[in-house]
Chains A and B, each alone.
Chain A
Amino acid sequence: MNRAIRHDLPIHFLLIILGIVTFYPFVFTFLTSFKSSYQISHNFWGLPWPFQPSNYRDAWKGISPYLLNSLIVTGGSVIGVLFVASLAAFVFARFTFPGREFLFLAIISLMMMPSILLLVPQFLLIKHLRLLNTRWALILPYIAGGQVFGIFVLRSFMASIPGELFDAGAMDGLSTFQSYRHIAVPMSVPILSTIAIMNILGTWNDYVWPLVTISKNQLWTISVGVMSFSMSTSSFETRGVMFAGYVIASLPLIILFFFTMKSFVKGISSGALKV
């Protein structure tokens, strides 16, 4: 035991330094959320004194109406991503069929299209589909785009599930869908939770797409709500409130991390994240 501690000590020293520097932006956001705009201007690095708890009251009032929307949109898209991606990954991992490699490349090549270029055509499409000002305008494209990385990762994970399991399943008379449902999915839970978290991190803070597709503010997401506190010619003073908004908006993510951390890390540790 003693030897273990002595061995670990210099490593801890390095890791803690890395940890402090890495963790700093989080601490900064938290501290700044208690400052007034004037305090931010006059003392950017300083401690928030006097405290401005009113930032939180303002921010809560401003963004709480959108919390539910964000939960629905993010939740809906993450469920969709997991379902669609696991289905496709299962097929790509377990079967050979004509065009398999081509179709797979066709999917992952989408990760390489600059997204800013797609903004206008995608917007016009959503308009023609009459989905503007609906949650579908967010959920469907999020699923479509989010599944790509999921398929990429899940395919190699599912390929590493021992084949005997599926053979046994086939012997028991499981159909393809059943072996997906009863073998592939249960075996992939950790990596699915990893994909879920990566996906949620991507959609939760997305700002431009909800801004352009949702003009009814009852349907806004939390990120649009937070940005309404950034500075403008009519308001210099809302920067502190904006930071409080960031903290509030990140709380659901942090809670999620705490509850899924084990599974999430296990998923990454499964070694599927490689090519």
Chain B
Amino acid sequence: MSSSLAEFPPLIKKDSVWRRIFRSRECYLLLVPTFLLLGIFNYYPAVSAIYHSFFSWNGANVQVFNGFQNFIDLFTDQDFLVSIVNVCKITVISILISISFPILAALLIYRLKADQAGYFYKVVYVIPMVVPTIVIFLIWKFIYSPMDGLLNTMLAAAGLKVFIHTWLGEYNTALYSILFINFPWVSGFQTLIFLAGLQNISISVIEAAILDGTGPVARFLKIELPLISAQIKLVVILAIINSVQGFVNILIMTNGGPGKSTMVPGLYLYRNAMQYGKMGYACAIGTFLFVVILTLTYLNLKYMKSNNDSMGA
């Protein structure tokens, strides 16, 4: 017999830890498959990576313990510091992107009076997810292509020659051009997640607002937006995880260039691990990123307001 949450809340508090553990043995049993798999395939490699971050290790035969030297080197490494600045920019912008346009699209669908049409748009926004990212990058490379790229051609046709750039080849534009990929950023799950949040708002709340004469904009800001804060929180967490770890977009689009202006920690980790043969150093970068993401997620969970109370209750 296990202890159902609703049944005996007072009892649980009185018992000793060991008795409570014993009483909950069935819970632990059901968690065994999860932790068995995680333990073998995820914790072991992860712990190995953290362990090796304290070594000078070439990934093969030379492994010398060097304490915190990798971390000390990391914070005097100019390339790494540049990458930290970049990843901060990327994270902030990615968060803004992943909550602005998807919320807009969700709101538009939500405001439709015809339900069937809403379903159609959901399908249209979801299907492109089957296109592999490598194809997306190829397309955007050609959109940004300096000579016959779509963007420059369109700017020239519109008489806006002053705005023509070699988008991926200039300091001021390269990083932002990469972030602009996938414009208008409504494909994928975020839009649907926000839409779900909006649709779960009870009609009486909205009707009351309309009766009060609240306009569409005020209604969005004062009522709808606060009520989807739990969804926003999830999307923000996922955006943080993706942008702090991510590097494939940078690797393919600029490979860190021009110069080192678009270097990010993920790419630097990749180079150290796969190309420079500096595995220990790569592990230190990875450990650092792990700690950063963990902290940000924790802060987000703890301090960002949420309309939802089912978690951690």
Direct contact of A and B (CB under 8 A): yes
* Residues of chain A at the chain B interface (Cβ within 8 Å): 4-5, 7-8, 11-12, 14-15, 18-19, 21-26, 28-29, 44-45, 83-85, 87-88, 90-91, 94-98, 101, 103, 107-122, 125, 129, 140-141, 143-145, 147-148, 151, 155-156, 159-160, 163, 166-167, 170, 176-177, 180, 198, 201, 205, 243, 246, 250, 253-254, 257, 261, 264-265, 268-271, 273-275
Name the one of B5, B17, B233, B301 contacting A94, with C-beta atoms under 8 angstroms.
Answer: B5
Interface residues of B, count at CB 8 A: 101
Determine whether B211 belongs to the interface, using a CB cutoff of 8 Å to chain A: no
Q: Given A167-B6, A269-B199, decide whether A113 and B46 contact each other with a Cβ distance below 8 A.
A: yes
Minimum CB distance partner of A179 in chain B: B4
Please choose the segment from B73-81, B255-263, B278-286 that sits at the chain A interface, where 4 or more of its residues have CB less than 8 A away.
B278-286
Contacts of B45 in A (CB 8 A): 118, 121-122, 125
Bound Cα distance from A29 to B231, whole angstroms: 32
Bound Cα distance from A21 to B3, whole angstroms: 52
Bound Cα distance from A175 to B282, whole angstroms: 48
Q: Given A21-B184, A274-B197, decide whether A87 and B33 contact each other with a Cβ distance below 8 A.
A: yes
Flag if A113 contacts B4 (CB, 8 Å).
no
Flag if A103 contacts B142 (CB, 8 Å).
no
Flag if A15 contacts B33 (CB, 8 Å).
no
Please choose the segment from B62-70, B106-114, B163-171, B172-180 that sits at the chain A interface, where 4 or more of its residues have CB less than 8 A away.
B106-114
CB proximity to A under 8 Å, residues B128-142? 128-133, 135-136, 139, 142
Flag if A250 contacts B130 (CB, 8 Å).
yes
> Shortest CB–CB separation between residue B81 and chain A, in angstroms?
18
B269-307 contact mask (Cβ, 8 Å, vs A): 1 or 0: 110011000010011011001100110010001000010
> Shortest CB–CB separation between residue B108 and chain A, in angstroms?
5
Q: Given A8-B112, A18-B186, A265-B122, decide whether A94 and B34 contact each other with a Cβ distance below 8 A.
A: no
* Residues of chain B at the chain A interface (Cβ within 8 Å): 2-7, 12, 17, 20-21, 23-24, 26-28, 30-31, 33-35, 37-38, 40-46, 48-49, 59, 105, 108-109, 111-114, 117, 119, 121-133, 135-136, 139, 142, 150, 183-184, 186-187, 189, 192-193, 195-197, 199-200, 230-231, 233-234, 237, 241, 245, 247, 266, 269-270, 273-274, 279, 282-283, 285-286, 289-290, 293-294, 297, 301, 306, 308, 310-313
